[in-house]
Amino acid sequence: MLTRRLPSRRNVVRGIVASAGAALLAGCKQFDGISQAPWFRKNVLHVGEDINTAVQGFFLRPSSMAREFSAADISPKFKANGTIRPNDPDYQALAADGFADYRLKVGGLVENPMEFSLADLRAMPSRTQITRHDCVEGWSCIGKWSGVQLALVLDRVKLKPEARYIMFTCFDKLEQTADETGRYYETHSLEDAYHPQTILAYDMNDAVLDVPHGAPLRLRTERTLGYKMAKYIRSIDAIDDYSKISLGNGGFWEDRGYDWYAGI
Amino acid sequence: MTAAADIATTDKPLPGGTVLVRRHSPVVRITHWINVVVLFFLLQSGLQIFNATPALYVGQYADFDHPVMSLTARNTPGGPVGITQIGSARFDTTGFLGLSQYDGRWAARGFPSWLTIPGYQDLATGRRWHFLFAWLFAINGAVYLITGLASGHLWRDLVPSVKDLRGIGPSIVEHVRLHFAHVREYNVLQKLAYLGVILVMLVLVVAGMAMSPGLDAAFPFLIDIFGGRQTARTVHFICAMLIVLFFVVHIVMVLISGVWNNLRSMIIGRYAVTAGSDADAH
């Protein structure tokens, strides 16, 4: 009985194996459509990163520190990614003069909006840290950063109680758009903004921060991926909601499908 | 519990001297097939993520000039070529690795479009697919491991005995001669392969977590296990390739050692053994 039924079963199995093989060889283009379907992106694909955010939020305490390395660990070559030379005329005029006329504007939902020159920021207590920079693309570099803790700057301007995020607006447009949606910006939680290792860096590897790495001022948030660390900072604003800003996802790369919480 | 007693109470004798025995528990069968689907998506979204930096490094940071492996495209007088470099060895892999066709055009890509999800280059969407299925993989794996430990399945059926290990030589000979004894229990090479792939999957998960700057701050030992984020990334990739190797060998063995019997045992749980052979084999 068993032996008589085997040939047809064998054919069934052959059919299954052949169709599975054909599906594999046809490639993964069958997932391209669903990858771009808004409902699927919003309700299904997003779930994994939502769980990442919740789980990391549970384990990552405000006091959890990113590892700091020794001078011997610094990368010989620190890759500069994204914009490496902003073509904004205001920026180029400032750069031509060594950023002597640069003023960091800090405002939004604050009691005392202020402007800081680089000399003002350098006169404040500084923090130096040798940390690993993790790019979402998979590579890492180790660099030495000096700057002023963002918490000290925020303490000067005094956040209003309704402030929930800190937004960084940059000089560079990473995508050339007619409107402002191509401009680089980032938003951060207050926990990350007040973290001791969150600094506005003006020096890198014992030299003044150069243009490819974000001169005159870039953000370091050492517990996140690199795209959260805005370069070429023009202004900082305390805000209560980022859904009305630019494309509404809280950052340049977030508006292009990357996760707002970039802890992994 | 002895195999013979089990046959007497629960197994169906068939004509022709074979007996249908219970081989795989419902949890093993369900988690097995979930894993097939989940690993399909994880592998191909993982290759999409790899393509964002189609090279592997060792250490805390990427030494860009000295990758341990890279897939690159170069222009030559004869046209562009795809180069796969492993250590100091270079191979021309034009059309497959480093340089392949996408929509009828040559594109510099680590892995070709037909091996990535999505097929087009899109790191952000590849990450979304990868993390979604990573959680399914973790939950599915946890169910398998917890039930396997609680029921004794892992210890009883997968950990080889000293007697098993002594029989490893004859078992290799039997495999090479394609002689497969149809018995309830796994032979020693099966036990080592299944146990091995479980360990590889565990290392893969920990290496994946070690690449997270957030988790590294919460659990600094994660990165110390591997000695650097770039090493963790390389280990993660090697583990994925070992799972692919396991998959290929597994499929070949399933096909040549009685495909219907094997498939039935993993679908409805029943496996035909030669009557009397089961007790003799152990």
CB proximity B215 to A under 8 Å: yes
3-state secondary structure of A187: strand
- Tokens 């007790």 sit on residue: B279
**Alpha-carbon radius of gyration of chain A:** 24
Residues B214 and A263: beta-carbon distance below 8 Å: yes
Upstream peptide bond of B118 is cis (omega within 30 degrees of 0): yes
- Beta strands in B127-176, from DSSP E residues, in sequence order: none
Percentage of chain A with pLDDT > 90? 88
Q: Identify any residues that bridge with B67 across adjacent strands, giving them in sequence order.
A: none
Distance of alpha carbon A19 from alpha carbon A17, whole angstroms: 6
Distance of alpha carbon A79 from alpha carbon B117, whole angstroms: 27
CB proximity B131 to A under 8 Å: yes
Upstream peptide bond of A216 is cis (omega within 30 degrees of 0): yes
CB proximity B249 to A under 8 Å: no
Name the average pLDDT for chain A.
93
Q: How far is CA B127 from CA A264, B51, B108, B209, in A?
A: 10, 12, 20, 14
- Global pTM exceeds 0.95: no
Let me know if B13 is exposed, middle or buried by CB neighbors in 10 A (0-12, 13-18, 19+): exposed
3-state secondary structure of A83: coil
Taking 90 as the threshold, does the pLDDT of residue A4 lie above it?
no
B201 CB neighbour count, 10 Å cutoff: 21
| Torsion (CA) B183, B184, B187, B190 in degrees, nearest 10 | 120
Residues A247 and A257: beta-carbon distance below 8 Å: no
3-state secondary structure of A114: strand
Hey, which residues 146-175 in chain A have their CB within 8 Å of chain B? none
Name the average pLDDT for chain B.
91
Sign of CA dihedral A54, A59, A62, A66: negative
Give per-residue pLDDT as tens, A118-170: 999 999 999 999 999 999 999 999 999 999 999 999 999 999 999 999 999 99
Give per-residue pLDDT as tens, B113-151: 999 999 999 999 999 999 999 999 999 999 999 999 999
The whole-angstrom distance between B75's CA and the closest CA on chain A is 23
3-state secondary structure of A244: coil
Taking 90 as the threshold, does the pLDDT of residue A185 lie above it?
yes
Residues A65 and A132: beta-carbon distance below 8 Å: no
Chain A interface, best mutation among B131, B139, B250, B263, by max A CB count within 10 A = B131
Query: Could you tell me which residue, B7 or A242, shows the higher pLDDT?
Result: A242
3-state secondary structure of B131: helix
Closest CA to B237 of B71, B36, B66, B32: B71
Distance of alpha carbon B200 from alpha carbon B247, whole angstroms: 13
Angle at B218 between CA B216 and CA B222, to 5 degrees: 40
- What integer pLDDT is reported at residue B14 of this predicted model? 74
Interface pTM, i.e. ipTM? 0.90
- Beta strands in B87-140, from DSSP E residues, in sequence order: 89-92, 98-102, 105-109
Residues A59 and A204: beta-carbon distance below 8 Å: no
The whole-angstrom distance between B221's CA and the closest CA on chain A is 10
Q: Which two tokens stand for residue A245?
A: 């800003």
Task: Choose the closest CB to A138 out of B125, B233, B272.
Answer: B233
Distance of alpha carbon B237 from alpha carbon B247, whole angstroms: 15
- What integer pLDDT is reported at residue B185 of this predicted model? 87
CB proximity A73 to B under 8 Å: yes
3-state secondary structure of B73: strand
Distance of alpha carbon A34 from alpha carbon A38, whole angstroms: 8
Taking 60 as the threshold, does the pLDDT of residue B12 lie above it?
yes
Q: Please indicate whether, in this complex, the C-beta atoms of A132 and B63 are within 8 angstroms of each other.
A: no
CB proximity A80 to B under 8 Å: no
- Tokens 């604050």 sit on residue: A110
Q: Please indicate whether, in this complex, the C-beta atoms of A132 and B60 are within 8 angstroms of each other.
A: yes
Closest CA to A73 of B67, B228, B60, B216: B60
Distance of alpha carbon B255 from alpha carbon B259, whole angstroms: 5
Q: Which helix (H) or strand (E) holds B18?
A: strand B18-22
- Beta strands in B77-144, from DSSP E residues, in sequence order: 79-86, 89-92, 98-102, 105-109
Q: Which residues of B touch A263 (CB under 8 A)?
A: 212-215
Chain B interface, best mutation among A4, A32, A35, A52, by max B CB count within 10 A = A35
- What integer pLDDT is reported at residue A16 of this predicted model? 64
